[in-house]
Amino acid sequence: MYIEQIYTNCLAQASYYIESEGLVAIVDPMRDIDIYMDIAKKRNAKIKYILNSHFHADFVSGHLDLASKTDAIIVFGPNAAPKYSAFIAKDDELIQLGKIKIQVLHTPGHTIESSCFLAIDEQDLPYALFSGDTLFIGDVGRPDLMSGNLSKETLGAMLFDSLENKIKKLSDSVIVYPGHGAGSACGKNLGKETMSTIGEQKKFNYALGNISKDEFVRIVTSDQPPVPAYFFKDAQININGYQNLDSVYEKCLKALSSGDIENELANGAMVLDTRSSDEFSSCFIAGAVNIGLDGQFAIWVGTLISIEQPLVIVADKGREKEVITRLARIGFENVKGYVADMGAWKGKTDTISSVGFESLDLKLANSVFTILDVRRSTEVETAKIKESVHISLHELNQKMIELDKNKTIVVYCISGYRSMIACSMLRRNGFEKVLNVTGGINLVKEKHPELIEAQ
């Protein structure tokens, strides 16, 4: 048996390649499927099955494109009702793959159809659990995403039963390969590791510990991060089907002239600038939002921008297709094209300045300027810059009305990635005096620890 994890940092998502005797099963493929086909070709193997742990809400799965190009069989667990041809496996059903078997374990809770896939090795012993969004490293999948007519408490109770009756009964030596890692909004306390064992999770994951059902449901239904609006759209796309990725490229991957851009902006398009924060801040198309490609790009796009919003892309030369691909992964296909040449842009441009805290007089905070912390609440709980106010980046669209446009807004995060996103959003919404904190709170801690207030 050969197993390879394909981890996509942009979405904190893991898919898997499983092979035995030249036959392959792919678990939870991303929409851009070439990587799976390339591995199979390199290993002279044939993709036979595409195993979907559930209808994903946080990304558009590549199962349909992969099936059309390989003739592989799409597999879901019980209770799945896709609007296209697929094999709906029974609970505990065994799928033969070369010399190994894959057992479908129906584990409802994250969603009704959620299932895990247990790889049973050549010696007929349970070897690895591909746990989808049922079990993460240090946490479990949230029960409040695709609940249908069921409450999150009902699904939470189902998830407890799934863990008790299916997962906890597995041998401690079974490897756990989860569907997501740290940074995903599909859970709240995901570990940084991308694999573990059942034994380790019994020791360190509360969900597999000695916990009552009531306490488990209370924990798993409380303090979950906000659900990005695109999640519900993506889940429906995965249920109903979608156009192939080649068609998306044909529609979206178009070079736009200055005049084309002006027309698109007049018709309601937004400029999404994916360059680094340093490059963006020095000169950008007025009104552009900066979400750098070299970060958790897709997660922040999906959190902060409507999936229906028409987009014009600014990208580093040669990375335009990468931007379109990463947007398509989350169902963002309303892209009008990309800026062919920033130097040829004839419209209004803007800049955003950065500042070091040594140049600020904190006695003027709140009267002349507002120090804005856009980190998550859990990050603020450890330490913050003195006199700062807190609005998490994911809440900024709704809460920026609380800020005074007459004051300078000085924005910081950990290192500068999120704060530049916030600065661009504020500038787009009429805040003329916006400054980004160079190096974020990390640099302030290093250079000016006296400005840090422990919580």
Write down which residue in 296, 322, 350 finishes a domain: 350
Angle at the Cα of 407 (from 406 to 412), degrees rounded to 5? 140
* Domain assignment present for 90: yes
pLDDT of residue 446: 84
Write down which residue in 350, 368, 400 finishes a domain: 350
> Do 214 and 295 have their domain in common?
no
* Domain assignment present for 306: yes
> Do 150 and 258 have their domain in common?
no
**Residue range 21-66, pLDDT digits in tens:** 999 999 999 999 999 999 999 999 999 999 999 999 999 999 999 9
> Do 359 and 315 have their domain in common?
no
Q: For each successive 10 residues of the chain (455 residues), what is the average pLDDT? A: 93 94 98 96 98 95 96 97 97 98 97 97 97 94 78 94 97 96 62 87 94 95 81 93 94 95 96 96 96 92 95 96 96 96 91 83 78 92 89 95 95 94 97 92 84 77
Q: The tokens of 125 are what?
A: 């012993």
* Domain assignment present for 236: no
Q: How many domains, the chain?
A: 3
> Do 334 and 269 have their domain in common?
yes
- Tokens 């591909």: give the residue: 130
For 161, the domain range is 2-231
* Domain assignment present for 218: yes
* Domain assignment present for 238: no
Percentages of the chain per state (helix, strand, coil), in multiples of 5: 35, 25, 40
pLDDT of residue 189: 61
pLDDT of residue 356: 81
Contact 12, 184 (CB under 8 A): yes
C-alpha to C-alpha distance for 432 and 427, rounded to whole angstroms: 6
* Domain assignment present for 237: no
> Do 223 and 306 have their domain in common?
no
> Do 275 and 217 have their domain in common?
no
Burial of 235 (0-12, 13-18, 19+ CB in 10 A): buried
**Residue range 125-150, pLDDT digits in tens:** 999 999 999 999 999 998 987 666 78
For residue 96, the domain's CATH number is: 3.60.15.10
* Domain assignment present for 317: yes
C-alpha to C-alpha distance for 141 and 135, rounded to whole angstroms: 6
> Do 220 and 363 have their domain in common?
no
For 64, phi then psi, to 5°, come to -70, -45
pLDDT of residue 375: 95
- Give which of 142, 152, 93 is closest to 117, Cα–Cα: 93
Strand partners, 437: 355
> Do 341 and 360 have their domain in common?
no
For residue 329, the domain's CATH number is: 3.40.250.10
Write down which residue in 195, 211, 231 finishes a domain: 231
pTM: 0.89
> Do 63 and 203 have their domain in common?
yes
